[in-house]
Amino acid sequence: MTRKYFGTDGVRGTVGNDPMSAEFALRLASAAAQVLVPEGGTVLIGKDTRMSGYMFESALEAGFVAAGADVLLLGPLPTPGIANLTQVFKANLGVVISASHNVYSDNGIKFFDSAGAKLSDEVEKEIEKLLDKPAITLESGKLGQAKRIDTARSLYQEFCISTFPDDLNLEGVKVVFDGANGAGYKVGPRTLNDLSAEVISIGCSPNGRNINDGCGSMEPGLLQKTVVAVEAAAGIALDGDGDRVVMVDELGQVVDGDQLLYVLATARKAQGLLNGPVVGTIMSNLGLEHALQRQNIEFRRAAVGDRYVLESLREWGGTLGGETSGHMICLDQTTTGDGMVSALQILAIMRRTGKRLSELTAGMTRYPQKMVNVRTSKKMDPGQFPAIGAAVCEAEAELAQTGRVVLRASGTEPVIRVMVEGENENQVIALAERLAVVVAEAAT
């Protein structure tokens, strides 16, 4: 059975279009409760700052309570905060209302199990089996209750601070924080302030519609300019739900997830704290793989999606993984991708070594990489089209072992991602654009 509604990271789409409706959210809560909270239990619900979050919060609350589950409403909180508090409150299930880095008109719903981990494909399939049935309503004596938790933000802030070394602080360190007008808009600056940093905040004035709009990890241009203008040591940019992070060094250069992973891996090895292989994805830059090889650090690739990086880390006994986009997983600190915790690990390395961020990333050279997103009328598998396969083989032959070609269907939208990387930037760009034309023709 393939998944009809769940993608790479939960259920996601444009609000008002199938499946992102209040009625669907009600059925989704009912189905999830029957699979994961069958005898009554506790469910946490948190969200980002999108206007539609109020609607989905109410619909999910109704569905879970009607199925006999007690609900704790956390309000706006980063996705990793909900994963953490699911464990703190010993809840059966954590629910996140967010479309992550997408525009405000989209929204999504994703789950964490009682251990703060994302659900497996198998569990999501079990939930989907019940999604086409009406939501259940138990008799009055078996209904759940709901209440709001006002301490959620402070509890998560305390957790973030606990991951920073006890013998260090950020006194005298100027940091620019970009909250993407999203879920981390309060937690981020307050956490940095508690560690004695000098904090300059941008992207921390959400209005329900400006999440990820010209700010955050997807659009760090303003952060780059601000870091240089105020002569900050670094800049931190989360995405809308706070599970991704990119940073900006003191020179105003963007430091992506691959570079952050390199800094974390080499520092942990130097301290004797690196266990197992470092795990990236099929989209991780080839420069990361080669840089880690030079440091005698094993590197392996997983499928795209932080859930698959996490599964691979557990399978291979690793503790450190991530994606180019900034989904960083430090299993020695937390259970899921956490933008704020990852940024704090980098700041701690800067503080302990006395090195600037540009110095820490100097050992890795990013190979030129070109990504072209080809929008299709519906989801499709590029591997099923002979013309696309032939074009890929031709491109790989031209690269002649100096680069890679990756075609991947997005797990959250009808898009085929065409990625080419190699040593020659002009060649990389030309090949990516040529392949994109072939994919677009096949998709029509």
4 in a structural domain: no
Q: Supply the range of the domain harboring residue 208.
A: 172-254
Q: Are residues 219 and 322 in the same domain?
A: no
Residue 216 backbone class (left: φ over 0; alpha: ψ -120 to 50; beta: rest): left
| Count of alpha carbons within 13 angstroms of residue 58, beta-carbon side | 7
Which pLDDT tens digit goes with each residue over 221-255?
999 999 999 999 999 999 999 999 999 999 999 99
100 catalytically annotated: yes
264 in a structural domain: yes
Q: Are residues 311 and 352 in the same domain?
A: yes
Which pLDDT tens digit goes with each residue over 393-428?
999 999 987 889 999 888 667 899 999 999 899 999
Going residue by residue through the chain, which has 444 residues, state the pLDDT in tens, using 9 for 90 and above.
467 899 878 999 999 999 999 999 999 999 999 999 988 899 999 999 999 999 999 999 999 999 999 999 999 999 999 999 999 999 999 999 999 999 999 999 999 999 999 998 899 999 999 999 999 999 999 999 999 999 999 999 999 999 999 999 999 999 999 999 999 999 999 999 999 999 999 999 999 999 999 999 999 999 999 999 999 999 999 999 999 999 999 999 999 999 999 999 999 999 999 999 999 999 899 999 999 999 999 999 999 888 889 999 999 999 999 999 999 999 999 999 999 999 999 999 999 999 999 999 999 999 999 999 999 887 788 888 999 999 999 999 999 878 899 998 886 678 999 999 998 999 999 999 999 999 999 887
Terminal CA-CA length for the chain = 27
Cβ atoms 232, 175 nearer than 8 A:
yes
Nearest to 297 by CA among 273, 315, 281, 326: 273
6 in a structural domain: no
Q: Are residues 46 and 110 in the same domain?
A: yes
Rounded Cα gap, residues 337 and 98, in angstroms: 15
Q: Are residues 215 and 289 in the same domain?
A: no
167 in a structural domain: no
Rounded Cα gap, residues 207 and 218, in angstroms: 18
The enclosing domain of 417 has a CATH number of 3.30.310.50
**How do beta strands 146-148 and 93-97 pair?**
unpaired
Q: Are residues 125 and 220 in the same domain?
A: no
98 in a structural domain: yes
At residue 173, φ and ψ (nearest 5 deg) are -100, 120
Of the candidates 30, 52, 98, 100, the residue annotated as catalytic is 100
Q: Are residues 55 and 184 in the same domain?
A: no
166 in a structural domain: no
Q: Are residues 143 and 79 in the same domain?
A: yes
Rounded Cα gap, residues 20 and 174, in angstroms: 41
Q: Are residues 88 and 197 in the same domain?
A: no
Q: Last residue of a domain, which of 366, 390, 416?
A: 366
The enclosing domain of 221 has a CATH number of 3.40.120.10
Compute how many other C-beta atoms are within 10 angstroms of the C-beta atom of residue 51. 15
Q: What local confidence, expressed as pLDDT, does residue 307 receive?
A: 85
Q: Last residue of a domain, which of 254, 281, 314?
A: 254
Please give the tally of structural domains in the chain: 4
Q: Last residue of a domain, which of 254, 284, 299?
A: 254
State which H helix or E strand residue 189 sits in: helix 187-194
Q: Are residues 146 and 18 in the same domain?
A: yes
Q: What local confidence, expressed as pLDDT, does residue 410 receive?
A: 80
161 in a structural domain: no
Model pTM score:
0.91
| Residue found under tokens 């109704």 | 62
Q: Are residues 302 and 404 in the same domain?
A: no
State which H helix or E strand residue 395 sits in: helix 386-399
Cβ atoms 73, 57 nearer than 8 A:
yes
Q: Are residues 199 and 312 in the same domain?
A: no
At residue 246, φ and ψ (nearest 5 deg) are -120, 155
Listed in sequence order, the DSSP H helices in 271-379 are 286-294, 306-316, 339-353, 357-360
CA 127 to chain centre: 22
Q: Are residues 139 and 22 in the same domain?
A: yes
What ranges make up the beta strands (E) of 323-402? Answer: 328-330, 369-375
142 in a structural domain: yes
